[in-house]
Amino acid sequence: MAGYEGKAFKWVGTRPVRPDGVDKVTGRANYGADQNLAGQLTGRILRSPHAHAKILSIDTSKAEKLPGVKAVITGKDFPQMHRGVLPGDEGVNFHYLSSNIMARDKALYDGHAVAAVAATSAAIAEEALALIDVKYEVLPHVIDVDDALKPGAPLLHDDIFTTGVNPKPDKPSNTVQRVHMALGDANAAFKDADIIVERSFKSKTVHQGYIEPHAVVAEWCEDGQARIWCSSQGHFMVRALTARLLNMEVAQVRVMPAEIGGGFGGKTIIFIEPTAVLLARKAERPVRIVMSRDEVFRATGPAPGSSIDVKIGAKKNGMLVAAVGEFRFQAGAFPGSPLGPACMAAFGPYALAHVTSAGYEAVTNRPLCFSYRAPGAPLASFAVESVIDEIAQKLNIDPMEMRIMNGSKEGTQMVYGPKLKAVGNLECLKAIKNHPINKIPLGPNQGRGLAAGFWFNLGGQSSAVVNIAEDGTATIMTGSPDIGGSRASMALMAAEVLGIDYSKVRPIVGDTSAVGFCEITHGSRVTFATGMAIIQAAEDVVLQCRQRVAAMWEVDVEAVVWEDGHARPAGANAGEQKPLSLAQIAARAARTGGPLVGKAAINAGGAGPAFAVHICDVEVDPETGGVKILRYVASQDAGKAIHPSYVEGQIQGGAVQGIGWALNEEYIYGADGRLQNSGFLDYRIPVASDLPMIEPIILEIPNPGHPFGVRGVGEVGIVPPLAALANAISRATGVRMMDLPMTPPKILAAIDAKK
Amino acid sequence: MSKFHISATVNGEAVEYLCDPKQTLLDVLRDELNLTGSKEGCSSGDCGACSVTLDGRLVCSCLVLGVEMQGRSVETIESMASGEKLHPLQQKFLEAAALQCGFCTPGFLVAAKSLLEKNPNPTESETRYWLAGNLCRCTGYDKIIRAVLETAADMRGSK
Amino acid sequence: MSGFQYEAPATVEAAVGFLAGAKGNARVLAGGTDLLVQLRTGAANPDLVVDIKRIGELRQISGNAASGFVIGAAVTGAEIGEHKELAKAWPGFVEAMELIGSTQIQGRATPGGNLCNASPAGDCTPAMFAAGVVCVIAGPNGRREAPVEQIPTGPGKTSLAKGEFIVAIKLPARAKNSGDAYLRMIPRTEMDIAIVGAGVNLTLDASGACTAARVSLGAVAPTVLLVDAAAKALIGSKVDDAALARLAAAASAACKPIDDKRGTIEYRTKVAGVLARRAAVIARDRARS
């Protein structure tokens, strides 16, 4: 596996057209909603209009009688799951998962599914929903995390007993868990600080905002097997969870991956697949469910809102002495908020001897809060980076120098356990420090803001197969959905190892019956871990080629080397043999042992953490509070960039999602606990005219844990923008915004309050 | 309620279809004519993934009723390439990596083509405002805007 | 509930016939950019939809700056934006229309639809209030005209009687040395509903003194407001800083806004004055040039 460091790459690092590109610019690519089976019905889901209500009864009889309605289901049609978490379930509470997909005795949020129908047309399905009579007893609800943590708050579940506290509580509450991690003794160390800044921050729920709504087509077969077509961040995850929730064997479920129209973490869990399978089974026809945008906002897995206190102490010269973060994260109606990762990532860019990172997670009457790009880290980083910037302002020192002075680097002890290996935090900082943006003079009402960010990245299980065709071309298959160009990076890595042209490699995303298990596409893991599997599978082919050629030449395998796509004699002693190309070897496959198939199935460790540093210039209209972003530069430690264009795309896309989070995006609830902005009109993701070009800087600090030096690149780019903008706005206006999003009304109110 | 029988032109070909009054042009394209290149992202005219041209005018097909189409002509992403030859915008989007998940891409291409037909030399700002009704959540728009501007320059140069 | 009667008449008279004879709820379909969203969400459940886009006279812009323009009710924002003479004479009105939604929305949306949707936040409506637009209305009793400010009566409500619909809007003859402008505040740069909007149309005399003015505000009351006190602040002045300050104060004083998901009472009240002042400066400079 070793031996690639320092080697000149032929394909890795180039920017060819992606293999799936033509399908995607011609409209031919099939996404979740594009599947169309013969006899397919339309499925629709009835959702609770109440934030919290006991379901007294559901009468579906009228809907069932409507001509064209083929199936109606409710929570009663779903198998009952064991309450609590069973050993071996890796923390998944299947009772909760099932109850989120279809409510049982209580509706826990506005949008919670309570029944579903399948009918011969969308119009009939909608008419049928209106005929379902659900009797509710409306209960008091709780939306805000600080309110949910209070004693006496409306209780969502009777089986949540706070974990991580001592003694273990004997009464249920909304508080899911206490997380606490520490290095040194921060509270004692504050006495050594010349300055202490302590601030409180609030933020609202935000959505991943993928443009493709969740969609599934399910088919039930007479032999008790189910076939599912859907877009997801992991069809093996869809298979496993659907099978479990429906009491099926895993191999009875086959999931075909559709193209995925964006996920950002939001498609790492299921919402509608078991419902579609149950409808298809009952209707004896295939069923397609496509969520509306309203349903996507009300009933999928957005990122949590938060309430955060951060206290940091420093010396006069800017050296940090102690830091404490207290993070209170919403869950939705069920546990699952990324509180742990937030606590772990919060202080990642800093070398701190005394630091405490702790927090609470509480369930609220909202949709399940789930993963969104570097889950939890943007909120924690917003708070920490804002306080760091305020200390620099108060000490009147350069915020860049302060970050470099305190920056984490190889050997730094992290609060969550390990010491950092080779990382690029300081390189990212210095790249921004040396960027020409710093020399551009700022005008009135303009400000420049800087922030750093950290994210872990993951490895995990992946499988890959490399099939060499009779003419030496290659079909390579993995089970990782291609969410933004990973087919291209897989093909580049395979071409590199095999020594054949990129155009001779055809990458395929295989279904759950065609290829070995692959974990979900999360933690920026695909190019790292699935890429490692592809490299090993290709190396397997190379080894087989060498063995076959060695047999032909009647030499030891060590006497045959693989160079530039050819088997060659290792040296003069190996004999005067003519090199054989992969195509020539493939042509003789039948006579040398059969088809050339390379495979790998791995559980990849060694993922390298990623750092990012962003800088931006803004102008704030002092009379309206409107923010215009003038310039934006983002540096990131990417490890080796396999396809640099798509690495840049990850940096740019992450930055812009962070910009939306910072300025405008939020879930807005009424006093009735209902979501008021469940559409793209009032859930305001950035549009093209809001933005300048986003200049990416890729820093290739190789990850020692990967044969090509790959680090995950997908997530860390969303971590710095929130604070980078808050810091820029602070310097433009003199007011520090601690409540996200920083909308014009909030900024104007803060400016006016300062006057 | 009986269905409406509509005769229209889709991508240059005469078509007939039946539709409910509530079905949108997007529903008709996707569900009746099996042209699934136009995508449904919001059904409220806010995302642009369903962009088509209607009698030459850029519109969201989710905001047009199927019944309105009698005698009218629509062009979709499926007609953008001619034979094996991609439109210069399609080719540039590939080369410039101006797509990630690709779901918004058909809408962007249809909208960008409409822009360049009206204004062969748009500024960056004009391009950003013209495309403000096409949401992309993956790219941050940077590579899309560059691809459109570069295609415009290429097309001006080749004339 | 799943369907409705759809008609696409070729004449105004036929359209009136359908609307007047409708059993139940009838809706006019022009651009459809509001109606189709309401159909999808269930906010509208009409029994009859009358598509007016096949009526020839509703698809035209006629007249000129000196005589006044007549814009058919089915003319789209894109077509208005492409009409050079109209854009030169009434840049504020044209810009306001073009602010609505995206390029795609512009391909369909109409000023009459913006008016009859009767949202207090519709961008074109305040500009029409400021311009002094007169609406031509067809109905069972023939045609009548009404000033634009008499059309909306509350959110989603108009003064139009059963069987009536707007066939055209008329922009008055353009006076010498006059100019108009419309500004709105939105959180993004496009695609949003106005938190506040302000339209100003004014005329100057040879000395630069303001002889006539109309000032309108959007999204600060149940309907778009025509603010006489704000206009009075300009009339007789040279539209100087003092007059602009009085205008801003009068505009803010006229606001009766609500707190909602888009903005606060405080914000709308303050920014209404800011935008009225800024719009007046643009209108003044246009009148001077």
Spatial neighbors of A207 by CB under 8 A, at least 6 apart, are A266, A296, A297, A300, A302, A303, A372, A665, A667, A683
A176 neighbors A74 (Cβ within 8 angstroms): no
What is the per-residue pLDDT for A87? 87
CA neighbor of C89 nearest in space, from C68, C110, C109, C74? C68
Yes or no: say if A425 and A611 are a contact pair by the CB < 8 Å rule. Answer: yes
State the pLDDT confidence band at A5, using cuts at 50, 70 and 90: low
A686 shares contact with chain C (CB less than 8 Å): yes
Indicate the residue of B43, B96, B138 with minimum beta-carbon distance to A484: B138
- What is the per-residue pLDDT for A89? 87
Size of interface B-C (CB pairs under 8 A): 94
Residue C183 pLDDT exceeds 60: yes
Grade residue A8 by pLDDT with cuts at 50, 70 and 90: confident
Give the percent of chain A with pLDDT over 90: 95
pLDDT tens by residue, A322-332:
999 999 999 99
Check whether A571 has a pLDDT greater than 90: no
pLDDT at B1 exceeding the cut of 80: no
Q: What is the distance between the alpha carbons of residues A402 and A404, in angstroms, rounded to a whole number? A: 6
B22 → chain A, closest CA residue: A123
- The token duo for A595 is 């088809």
The residue assigned the tokens 């943007």 is A378
Q: Establish whether the linkage from the previous residue to A741 is cis, with ω within 30° of 0.
A: yes
Residues of C in contact with A124 (CB under 8 A): 2
Question: Which fold is adopted by the domain B88-157?
Answer: DNA polymerase; domain 1 (1.10.150)
Test mutation, B2, B59, B75, B131, chain C, max C CBs within 10 A: B59
Domain with CATH 3.30.43.10 in chain C: 5-51
CB C185 within 8 A of CB C195: yes
Cβ atoms of C138 and C42 within 8 Å: the answer is no
Residues 6+ apart with CB under 8 A from C2: A123, A124, A126, A127, B1, B20, B22
Q: How close is the nearest chain C Cα to the Cα of A672, in Å?
A: 14
Topology of the domain covering B4-79:
Ubiquitin-like (UB roll) (3.10.20)
Closest CA to A332 of A295, A359, A305, A308: A305
What fold does the segment set C56-171 form as a domain? 3.30.465
As beta bridge partners, residue A481 has: none
pLDDT at C2: 59
Q: For A164, which DSSP code?
A: S
Phi, psi of A556 (to 5 degrees): -70, 155
- If you average pLDDT over residues B3-7, what whole number do you get? 96
Residue of A nearest to C185 (CA): A624
Predicted model pTM: 0.97
Chain B contacts of A127, Cβ < 8 Å? none
Does residue A679 sit in helix, strand or coil?
coil
pLDDT of residue A1: 36
Report the alpha-carbon distance of residue A445 to residue A141 in Å, rounded: 42
* pLDDT averaged over every residue in chain A: 96
Q: How far from each other are the two terminal CA atoms of chain C, in whole angstroms?
A: 56
What are the tens digits of pLDDT across the range A699-721?
999 998 999 999 999 999 999 99
**CATH for the stretch C5-51:** 3.30.43.10
pLDDT tier for residue B158 given thresholds of 50, 70 and 90: confident
The 3 state secondary structure assigned to A90-131 is CCCCHHHHHHHHCCCCEECCCCCEEEEEEECCHHHHHHHHHH
Q: Tell me the one-letter amino acid at A109.
A: Y
Name the segment(s) of chain C with CATH classification 3.30.390.50: 178-288
Kindly list the residues from chain B whose CB atom is less than 8 angstroms away from the CB atom of residue C29.
65, 68
Is the CB of B24 inside 8 Å of chain A's CB atoms? no
Q: How far is A742 from chain C (nearest CA, A)?
A: 10
Task: Give A7: exposed, middle or buried? Use CB within 10 Å, 0-12, 13-18, 19+.
Answer: exposed
**CATH 3.30.465.10 domain locations along chain C:** 56-171
Contact list, C4 vs chain B (CB under 8 Å): 1, 21-22
Instruction: Render pLDDT for B102-153 as a digit per residue (tens, 0 to 9).
Output: 999 999 999 999 999 999 999 999 999 999 999 999 999 999 999 999 999 9
Residue of B nearest to C76 (CA): B57
* Six-digit token string for C9: 């008449």
A682 reaches C (C-beta below 8 A): yes
Structure-derived torsion over alpha carbons of residues A502, A503, A508, A514, reported in degrees to the nearest 10:
-90
pLDDT digits (tens, 9 = 90+) for B19-42: 999 999 999 999 999 999 999 999
C62 CB within 8 Å of a chain B CB:
no
Sketch the domain layout of chain B as residue ranges: 4-79, 88-157
Contact A234, A519 (CB under 8 A): yes
Q: Is residue C1 predicted with pLDDT exceeding 90?
A: no
H helices present in A231-372, as ranges: 235-245, 273-283, 293-299, 339-345
Select the residue from C34, C39, C45, C189 to test the A interface by mutation, using most A Cβ atoms within 10 A: C189
Query: How many Cα atoms sit within 13 Å of C154 on the Cβ side?
Result: 1
Give the tens place of pLDDT for each residue, A259-298. 999 999 999 999 999 999 999 999 999 999 999 999 999 9
**Could you write out the three-class secondary structure of A595-646?**
CEEEEEEEEECCCCCEEEEEEEEEEECCCCCCEEEEEEEEEEECECCCCHHH
What is the distance in angstroms between the Cα of C171 and the nearest Cα belonging to chain A? 30
Q: In the predicted model, what is the mean pLDDT of residues C45-55?
A: 97
C49 membership: H or E segment, kind and range: strand C48-51
Q: Which domains, ranges and CATH numbers included, belong to chain A?
A: 21-29+459-604 (3.30.365.10), 32-139+213-260+267-299 (3.90.1170.50), 306-457+608-754 (3.30.365.10)
With 70 as the cut, is the pLDDT of residue A6 above it? no
Mean pLDDT computed over C138-142: 97
Q: Categorize the per-residue pLDDT at A3 as very low, low, confident or very high, splitting at 50, 70 and 90.
A: very low
Q: Considering the domain delimited by C178-288, tell me its CATH architecture.
A: 2-Layer Sandwich (3.30)
The alpha carbon of residue A718 and the mean position of all alpha carbons in its chain are separated, in whole angstroms, by 10
d(Cα C269, Cα C198) in Å, to the nearest integer? 12
At residue A676, does pLDDT exceed 50?
A: yes
CB A525 within 8 Å of CB A711:
no
Q: Report ipTM (2 d.p.).
A: 0.98
Using the CB atoms, write b or e for A512-535: b if 16+ within 10 Å. beebbebbbbbbbbbbbbbbbbbb
Contacts of C108 in chain B (CB under 8 A): 59-60, 63-64
Judged by CB atoms within 8 Å, which residues 37-66 of B form the interface with A?
37-44, 46-47, 49
DSSP string, A48-88: -SSSSEEEEEEE-HHHHHSTTEEEEEEGGGSPPPPSS--TT
